[in-house]
Amino acid sequence: MIWQLTPDSEPETNLERATKVEVRFEEDEGGGRRVSLEHRGFEAYDESGAKMRSEVGSEGGWPALMKALRGGRPDSRRKRSAPRPAR
């Protein structure tokens, strides 16, 4: 999907410049599902893009959203991993 926000949280109207978010749903070895998230394209914003990458990868960014989507509980059946913002 296209993330249509600039590093300043303003709407991004240039779809070529907007960052991209890829979400994958995969079966894990325990019979459950694993959700992988990759957010990329920050380089289009130079230094402010690097700051944005750091913010969405921090504990208050994608990791917090993923935890909320799990109902606030870590899944003890599998190893947790934070989403990987692409470089």
40 pLDDT higher than 90? yes
Q: How many CA atoms lie within 13 A of 60 on its CB side?
A: 3
Q: What's the pLDDT score for residue 76?
A: 46
Average pLDDT of the chain to the nearest whole number: 86
74 pLDDT higher than 70? no
79 pLDDT higher than 60? no
| Angle, helices 62-69/46-57, rounded to nearest 10 degrees | 30
Q: What's the pLDDT score for residue 84?
A: 63
23 pLDDT higher than 70? yes
The answer for residues whose C-beta is within 8 angstroms of residue 40's C-beta and 6 or more apart is 19, 20, 22, 85, 86, 87
Which tokens sit at 87? 């470089």
The pTM of the whole model exceeds 0.85 = no
Grouping H, G, I as helix, E, B as strand and the rest as coil, residue 42 is helix
Query: Cα separation of 11 and 9, whole Å?
Result: 7
